[in-house]
Amino acid sequence: MIRSSNPGAPDFNELTRAIAENSVHGLVIMDERGYCLYANPRWMEMTGLTREDLRTRTVHDLVHYKRPDGRPLPIEACPIGCTPGKNQSRRNHEDVFFRKDGTPFHVSCSASPVSRDGQPIMMILETRDITAEKQAKQRLLDSEEMFRSTFEQAAVGIAHVDANGRFLRVNRQLCDMLGYSQDEMHALTFMDITHADDHDASRVIFLHLINGARDITIDKRYIRRDGNLFWVKVTVSAVRDADGGFKYTVAVIEDISARKADEETLRLAAKRKDEFLAMLGHELRNPLSPIITASELLDHANVDGDVLKRMSAIIVRQARHLTGLVDDLLDVSRITRGAVVLDKTPQDIDAIVASAVEQTQPLIDERRHRLSLRAAPEAAQVLGDQKRLIQVVANLLNNAAKYTPERGAIQLATEVSDSNVTLHVVDNGIGIRPDHQQLVFELFAQAERSLDRAQGGLGLGLALVKSLVEAHGGTVSCHSDGVGRGSRFSVVLPRLARNGGDLPDKLGRSAWKQQRPLDILVADDNVDVAETLAMYLEAAGHRPVVEFDAVRAFDVAVAKRPDICILDIGMPRLDGYEMARRIRMHSETWRPLLVAITGYGQEHDRAAALAAGFDHHFVKPVDLDALVAAIRA
């Protein structure tokens, strides 16, 4: 027994008890049988036991009677030596005890036997509740596992980069993006994989992060191991220590190559559209200039007959050119919206070719090209719209004629197989760059090709070809060996079975027969339109009557009963539809040919005219040859 020399000092036993009673750790002293001789308040608090519990059962049976998985734990297997008979010490042994209510808690135990004459007589067990520490450690492990799983399984690349720009850690996705292994990546810096043109911007951003910036996003180009470039979006954040010092950066890398490609496609499409609109303005002004000039010249009183004829010819020619431009635009609009109704009947491919050549021969002759035709030895039919198929072949021939320097060579050849009919249009013209060959069939792409704009046109022909061919169940393609090497356009159409029907007229039309002069009523509130049309009909040998008022026109029609009534749809007081319906009310005794003329040319406008009783529907400006043909029919 240690005693203090200071008579006022506390008794050692009292001091020891005070320390035990106020300890933050649980203390229990057991006899040689394992029963409790002493337990401090902290032990009682940890276990939830009462003094009565400690008097009736051993400490082992109270707190350590089963394993963490619930299996029984006999005292002989107790690892902390709950019985003094083991006479051995344990230090900082981690285990699981159970409270009185059965709930487990983690402990760190130190067991120390006390002996007398070499025989253990008691055991001192110091216990520290480490449940909160265990839970915190498990949360940390779970967090690390979650981070590791997220890091490795993320759909984007993730990297940790030190202050020297070297990769500390990279995930599998980034390695797959770049084609490097993780070990290889650890030997690289982020500048090693960055395109040279992006070095300066990347260096500035990295310095900003080191010097205090929190996070920065940049689009840049990376270089794969194989040397190929690809675009990435990099979001970089700085990780700092408790004092705000820089530790490393976390970079999240997303492959945005597809997005960049889409942006470039949209940019090029917008550029082509702008070029097209500029070209459209140019093309529309070209014919308007001579029309205006010729019209003003006709106002002069001293214009002789020859000048009058020349000016009239100019106006007609340029007006037809304008009509062609507008028709092309409307065709593109209708076809791309799927608003074109195809009148599909069996068509002889040779007849289609012959009609297309007939249409394009003037341009071919004007440019002094040599056109050669090579027909398949076997006749063949396709199921299609005659007008539209001729338009396809004519557009390809026009394209070849325009984009081939004068005195060039053009070949049109047909091939026939059991299932397909193929047409090839080959020229030795200016050719097409390899990277433009997939664009020539797109709207607004024609401006990419260089040619003297004096040839005119809006460059919509090939877009129409593609849409019309696909509407017939076929395909169209182009090939060129490059600039100055000519071009080949090929159209493949499904061949119609040999019993597909009678062949149409080889000329595509029947010869018109001259008829007697006809009485024709022309009704239009536009005086110039009505009078010029009447003059044309009179020149063709007919007897036109002109009315500018719709109600008056109807009265004249009923009174004179003309053979043909040509009616404007949009007249005031009485529109053309209603006039046609009223005229058809007299059909028992009089049924004239009714022709509608209008500025509206959609399919539903045509259907409305036919429903009102019209026989024909023409869009202004009227194709006069087609009108005369309808009259002769």
Q: In which band, very low, low, confident or very high, does the pLDDT at 81 lie, cut at 50, 70 and 90?
A: low
pLDDT at 528 over 60: yes
Give the per-residue pLDDT at 498: 64
Give the per-residue pLDDT at 439: 79
Asked if 524 and 451 touch (Cβ cutoff 8 Å), the reply is: no
Residue 492, phi then psi, degrees to nearest 5:
-115, 125
Mean pLDDT, residues 419-434 taken together: 94
The architecture (CATH level 2) of 344-494 comes to 2-Layer Sandwich (3.30)
- Return the percent helix, strand and coil in the chain, to nearest 5: 40, 25, 35
Provide the CATH topology of domain 154-255.
Answer: Beta-Lactamase (3.30.450)
Q: In which band, very low, low, confident or very high, does the pLDDT at 150 lie, cut at 50, 70 and 90?
A: low
Closest CA to 158 of 180, 147, 181, 174: 174
**Cβ atoms within 10 Å, residue 47:** 24
Give the per-residue pLDDT at 566: 95
Kindly state the DSSP code that residue 524 receives in the 8-state scheme: -
Q: In which band, very low, low, confident or very high, does the pLDDT at 116 lie, cut at 50, 70 and 90?
A: confident
Q: Which two tokens stand for residue 318?
A: 């340029």
**Cβ atoms within 10 Å, residue 200:** 9
CA distance 616 to 596: 6
- Its sign, for the CA torsion 92, 96, 98, 104, is positive
Measure CA 364 to chain center: 41
Average pLDDT, the chain: 84
Closest CA to 414 of 360, 390, 378, 361: 378
Q: In which band, very low, low, confident or very high, does the pLDDT at 80 lie, cut at 50, 70 and 90?
A: low
Provide the CATH topology of domain 519-632.
Answer: Rossmann fold (3.40.50)
Residue 91, phi then psi, degrees to nearest 5:
-125, 130
User: Which comes out higher in pLDDT, residue 451 or 480?
Assistant: 480
Q: In which band, very low, low, confident or very high, does the pLDDT at 291 lie, cut at 50, 70 and 90?
A: confident
**Cβ atoms within 10 Å, residue 241:** 8
Among 117-121, 139-143, 322-326, 386-390, top mean pLDDT goes to: 386-390
- Pairing between β-strand 487-494 and β-strand 420-427 as defined by DSSP bridges: antiparallel
Instruction: For residue range 237-268, list pLDDT tens digits in order.
Output: 999 988 888 999 999 999 999 999 999 888 88
Asked if 575 and 569 touch (Cβ cutoff 8 Å), the reply is: yes
CA distance 597 to 567: 6
Q: Which two tokens stand for residue 494?
A: 């499904």
Mean pLDDT, residues 62-68 taken together: 91
Instruction: For residue range 572-626, list pLDDT tens digits in order.
Output: 889 999 999 999 988 777 889 999 998 777 788 888 999 999 999 998 878 777 7
pLDDT at 10 over 80: no
Asked if 534 and 544 touch (Cβ cutoff 8 Å), the reply is: yes
Q: In which band, very low, low, confident or very high, does the pLDDT at 501 lie, cut at 50, 70 and 90?
A: very low
- Give the residue extent of every domain in the chain: 12-133, 154-255, 263-327, 344-494, 519-632
Lowest mean pLDDT among 176-190, 353-367, 449-463: 449-463
CA distance 125 to 90: 9
Coil, helix or strand at residue 383: strand
Kindly state the DSSP code that residue 66 receives in the 8-state scheme: B
DSSP states of 120-140: EEEEEEEEEE-HHHHHHHHHH
Mean pLDDT, residues 458-482 taken together: 87
The upper half-sphere exposure of residue 476, i.e. CA atoms within 13 Å in the direction of its Cβ, equals: 25
Asked if 508 and 386 touch (Cβ cutoff 8 Å), the reply is: yes
Closest CA to 487 of 404, 567, 374, 559: 404
Mean pLDDT, residues 461-481 taken together: 90
Give the per-residue pLDDT at 457: 55
pLDDT at 215 over 90: no
Mean pLDDT, residues 103-114 taken together: 90
Instruction: For residue range 304-358, list pLDDT tens digits in order.
Output: 777 778 888 888 888 887 887 777 777 777 776 766 778 889 999 998 998 888 8
Kindly state the DSSP code that residue 440 receives in the 8-state scheme: T
Asked if 314 and 289 touch (Cβ cutoff 8 Å), the reply is: no
Lowest mean pLDDT among 312-321, 430-439, 469-478, 553-562: 312-321
Give the per-residue pLDDT at 286: 66
DSSP collapsed to 3 states, 180-234: CCHHHHHCCEHHHHECHHHHHHHHHHHHHHHCCCCEEEEEEEEECCCCCEEEEEE
Give the per-residue pLDDT at 244: 87
pLDDT at 84 over 60: no
Coil, helix or strand at residue 249: strand
Identical fold between 12-133 and 154-255: yes
Choosing among 3.50.50.60, 3.30.450.20, 3.90.1150.10, 3.60.20.10, the CATH entry for 12-133 is 3.30.450.20
The verdict on domain 263-327 having CATH code 3.30.70.980 is no
CA distance 448 to 460: 13
Find the angle CA(363)-CA(368)-CA(372) to the nearest 5 degrees.
85
Q: In which band, very low, low, confident or very high, does the pLDDT at 505 lie, cut at 50, 70 and 90?
A: very low
Is the pTM higher than 0.85? The answer reads no
Mean pLDDT, residues 451-473 taken together: 72
